[in-house]
Structures are given as structure tokens and as C-alpha cells.
Chains A and B, each alone.
Chain A
């Protein structure tokens, strides 16, 4: 496969043709924050946290979806990008009801980690405090829409890895919600195989195991990539 040479944050990086900026940066040990991206699932560029500056482009480009090209010059940590990322994380917190102190995922949450990583000390935007429901009708799992960031990792894990597409997204904008079986309570969603991959993929405490108490949720989203890789090794 042809190699491409580019510069990321002043560092010369060699990448394979077709690789994304995110992959090239991670291979080179350069961290770019992400939320909707999960190794093993397709990229959707929904969360905009991985936006980078590319010389010659007036727009910011999502690192998870932009392929590398020869001689590309990428900046991942300019002041403008850092300010953008902090604003994005603050907006995520303002949009739903994220209360780390009483959340099942506290201490094991990508949103919480991001807030620390981007230096969020407070939220500058008015909280929307929407009335969100909690669905624990499934025998094993629950979904708390208060904590959902609409990253769609559950939707993709269910569709691409388990192959049943129980999850989807309904509604638009701030009214968008992840749904099971076209809006049935999860417990009545007959397509669900109860495999738990959505739980593995969820970056926050939105999807949890029933009976989990605060700060008790443990799951390793990297297992999605392990499942995908193991499957590809079969013949």
C-alpha cells in the first residue's frame, strides 16, 4: 500500500494511503480527543471533537473521516481548536442532565474524562434541563436518556457488529433520541438479542446494567474492536 507523508503538529508522520488523519495521528502517538468514534465501528463524524486544522482548507475537518494526503499539514492543538473542543463539551453537558456525582458511570465515563481533558471548569451555556425518560423495561439493561450524547455508538455496534439493528435514532436536533425497535420500550423490542454490545459501546452512563448503583458501571469499549478483529481472522 502506498505511503503518504504528512506533518501533524510539526511532526513528520508516515501513513498508509486511505488512512484517516485520526489513525495517522494515533499511530504517531498524537492524541486527538474523540467521542463518537470507536475502534471497530464505522466513523460518522457526529461529535466534531476531532476537528483539526488543515493548511489550505478554510474549514475545520473531522480527523476521523478525512483521509491523509501527501504533504498535508495538520494542526491538532491550536488555541482555536482547544476553545472549540471545550465549547463542544460544555454544550454536551448543557443539552441533557449529566450529574456525575450520582451517575452509574462516574469514574468510568468518556464524557467525564473529556471534560477533564479539555479543561472544563464550568458550563458557560444555559442548561436545557430537558425532561428525559429512563427505560429499564429490558430484563438486563437500562437506558437513561438524561445521559445520552447521541454519539450513535450503540446504533452502530448493534447494526454493524451484532447485525440486528435494534437501535436507531428518532427525532431531530435537541429532540433526537436513540430508540429500540422503532420506539418500543426496550423490553418489548423483539429484535434485541440481549448481547450487551450497546452497553460496551456507550461512552457515558446512558446504557447500563439494571441494578447498577452509582459509580459502579464497568465496561471496556475496546472489546468491540476485539470482537471485530477476531471475526475477521476467521476463514
Chain B
């Protein structure tokens, strides 16, 4: 019998979503859709604002990764002013972005996915949450919470607050890092690094047991997009774009972010508020690509720090060489990025230039069209602004990491449903797997629709004629 399965709401992700699974006459999964059901309209209501306010306004899109929006927006502002930043300002911005990658990835790995990864997908659902993790693995859970705190506190030491620091501004940053704060961060680094290594070791130990998940949680060929540094190394700020296919061919390289529109097209589907970006030369949907930790580690030649590079080599070896196509490895990539970010933070803290007084370049409107780009924890983030000659916004386009993983998340849901759906009913096991599969992308729906929401999941199962067969909500 033809069937549609709906999972609504999806839990332990950031935002509100619904999942529909469509069955054909033979009872096989024919399609799956990950609907994002929120809408906020930042691109519209920011019109008419002075662009100097945009870092702080767009920071409010998200409470998890406000720093990404602040930095992408400030970079677009730098370009409108047409200035080069004082070197210390660039380094301080890098430091804050690394701190955010650490705290956001830790939230994903420990708080949201930790129960699946460290207690197991098949463990008792009543205990498969952060509290269950604290009860079963108090040391690991405590270390994870402290690791997130490390990142959050570094953000606070730089920007004055942990969430929504109105700190990076067009032309630079507002304040530097005091020597006492620098020493405090350095003192907390060894424990943070030990936690990152321990979590990586635990994950690698558990990985052989996840062979089914690796095989079916979104393992498919696709393109990958991420920023890379000058020599193809891992980059999170100020780099250029690279697109690679799943055979490892580099399709586009050294693309400056301001030329994103030549690289990326966007289309919409009438069943989701989330747009579908695609690699323009391949069209939609063939040009669908993935962004985020796995994409960054796939496209880069090396990470650029000793510990992370050793882990990267090992991950590639475990995945069979070449670009890693299994989305389950997003978790793995996230752990490597935490470790590498901590190494880069340590390197930056030693830089004497951080103490420079000059932190802000001053200028007026010198360019009317500008793009700012940063690697957010979840992937490449673009802010594209146009302003009038006085600096009031006339056009705003935001391309968000989660949006770019939209097509990949749909394929992941379809793959999991195809593998685990039994009959025309939704059972707990399937729901868990679908949620777990989506969680690998650590989607942030508030960001991607620039929309407000409550964490929740609904799933619906539809038959071939479109009739609703089953619905589960929680």
C-alpha cells in the first residue's frame, strides 16, 4: 500500500523541522523530504538599515553561531569601506571564529549527538539524552561541557559576552585581548586539548560498531564546497573557495567569495522555507553539494597543524582514501576540527601582534556591492550586501551552511528510510535513525531560514497517491 511517513518534530537539532517519507506501490521508499517550517525574513527587514549595524543584527539570526554571522557581515562591511584591516584585527577575528568552531562542534558532538555516539543508537531512548550521558559517562560529559565553556569563554574575553558579541565591525574589531585574558586562555588549553583527543579516541574506538550507520546514513557521491587557504590548507576565514567532486577532482579553485554567484545558484521548492543552492555549471539537482566539517576536510590538502594532520590522514585511511562520502563521518571531521582549532588557537595566542592598539580601519562607503564569507561551524556562510551611496542597504542575500546541505539531508533521509523502513508504519527505531542521520549535519534551521523555532520533529509517511498513512510527532 502506498505510504507517506512524517517525522515531526525532529529533536536534538537546532530549529524546527518535519520529515516526509513517500512510498511507491511496491512499498519502497520513492522520496523523502526534510521540510523546514520556519520563516523569518532577515533579508527583507534589514533593507534600509545602515550596513554598520549588520554584524549585530545578523548575529541575532542564531544563538549558537552568532560569531559566523558577525564575521561574514563585518567582512562584507570591510569590502564596502574598501579597507585592509589592521593585522591584529584580522588575527583577533580568527581567534574568535576558532573559539566558536570549538564551542559549536562540542555542542554537536557531546550535547546533541553524544548520546547516540557514546551510548549507542540502540540504547534506551529514555536515557539517550545529555542527562543519560552524564549518568553513564560523568567524566566524559563533564569534560565536554568544559570544552564548550572553553570556547564560549574565549568569545566572551574577546567580545565582552558569550552570545551575540557586537564586537567585529566593518573595518576591524572594537577591542583587543588583555594579557591576563590571554594567559587564562593559554592555561585552559591543555585540558581542552586532552578532552578533544579523548573524544576522538572514543569515537574511533566505537567506529567499527557503526559500520551500518557509515554505510546508510547519507553515503553518496556529491560535490563538496569549502574555503581553503593559500596553499590548499584548511581555512575558516579570509580564504578562497574550492569545489571538489567525490573522486577528488577539483572543479573550481581559488574562487574569491565575492564571485560566489558565478559558482552557486539557488532554487526553491514549494515544500520548504529552506532554499536549495547548487553548483551552477552542473545545474539543480546534479550540482548539489555538501559543506561543513567533512567538506572542509575533504577539499583541503592538509589541516596545517601536527595533531589534526595526523588525525586527518587516519580518517582518510579509515574511509578508504579519497574524499570521504559517508555523512556519518561529519562527526569524525567535527572532532578533528575541534582538535585542530585548539592547535591554531595556541599558535595565535603566542603572536605578539595580538597586543597591538590599532584595531579598526576607518573609511566611508567606497564600494556599493560586497560579499563577506566565513566558514561557520556548519559550513560556508555568505553575506551579500548592496548599499546606496550613503551606506543604507538596498539588497541583502544570505547563503547559510545548512541550506547548502539541504539536498544532502534529503538524500540522507531517503537512504535511511530505504534501508530501515519496514511496512507502512513508523517505528521508534526508524525515527531514531532518521534523526541521527540528520544530526550528522548538525543542521541549524534557525540560521538556514533565518527563522526562529523550537526544537521539535514530526514525521509523516505518504502513499503513492499522496494519502497520509502514518504520522508521528514528539
Contact = CB atoms under 8 A, between A and B. Distances in A.
B166 A214 contact: yes
A104 B52 CA distance: 10
B430 interface: no
Contact of A213 (B48, B53, B364): B53
B391 A136 contact: yes
B166 A215 contact: yes
Interface string A60-100: 00000000000000000000000000000000000000000
Nearest to A106: B166
Interface residues of B, number: 19
A215 B165 CA distance: 10
Contacts of B391: 136, 210
B306 interface: no
A134 B50 CA distance: 8
Contacts of A136: 50, 390-392
A119 interface: no
Contact of B166 (A133, A187, A213): A213
- Classify the secondary structure of B's interface with A: loop
B52 A213 contact: yes
A216 interface: yes
Given A134-B392, A136-B390, A137-B390, A211 B166 contact: no
Interface string B193-208: 0000000000000000
Residue of B56, B57, B174, B364 with most partner-chain A CB within 10 A: B56
A104 B57 CA distance: 11
Interface in B141-193: 164, 166, 169-170, 174
A142 B52 CA distance: 12
Interface in B287-308: none
A213 B56 contact: yes
Interface in B317-337: none
Contacts of B357: none
B49 A134 contact: yes
B55 interface: yes
B169 A213 contact: yes
Nearest to B57: A102
B60 interface: yes
A211 B392 contact: no
Contacts, number: 47
Nearest to A215: B166
Interface residues of A, number: 16
A214 B57 contact: yes
B163 to A, nearest CB: 11
A101 interface: yes
Interface in B356-406: 362, 364, 390-392
Given A136-B392, A137-B390, A214 B49 contact: no
Interface string A101-127: 110100000000000000000000000
Interface of A is mostly: loop
B41 to A, nearest CB: 13
A211 B56 CA distance: 13
B390 A213 contact: no
Interface string A166-201: 000000000000000000000100000000000000
A101 B60 contact: yes
Nearest to A97: B45
Interface in A134-165: 134, 136-137, 142
Contact of A216 (B57, B60, B166): B166
Nearest to B46: A102
Most buried by B among A104, A137, A142, A213: A213
A187 B389 CA distance: 12
Contacts of B166: 213-216
Contacts of B174: 213, 216
A63 B392 CA distance: 41
A212 interface: yes
B48 A104 contact: no
Given A213-B169, A215-B166, A216-B174, A134 B48 contact: yes
A112 to B, nearest CB: 15
Contact of B52 (A101, A137, A211): A211
A136 B170 CA distance: 17
Contacts of A102: 53, 56-57, 60
Contacts of B48: 133-134
A14 B392 CA distance: 53
A142 B166 CA distance: 20
Nearest to B174: A216
A216 B392 CA distance: 18
28 contacts: A101-B164, A102-B56, A104-B53, A133-B48, A134-B48, A134-B50, A134-B392, A136-B390, A136-B391, A136-B392, A142-B50, A187-B390, A210-B50, A210-B52, A210-B364, A211-B52, A211-B170, A211-B364, A213-B53, A213-B169, A213-B170, A213-B174, A214-B53, A214-B55, A214-B57, A215-B56, A215-B166, A216-B166
10 smallest beta-carbon distances between A and B, as pairs: A214-B56, A214-B166, A213-B169, A102-B57, A136-B390, A213-B52, A215-B166, A102-B56, A211-B52, A214-B53
Given A133-B48, A136-B392, A213-B174, 13 more contacts: A134-B48, A134-B50, A136-B390, A210-B52, A210-B364, A211-B52, A211-B362, A212-B52, A213-B52, A213-B166, A213-B170, A214-B53, A214-B57
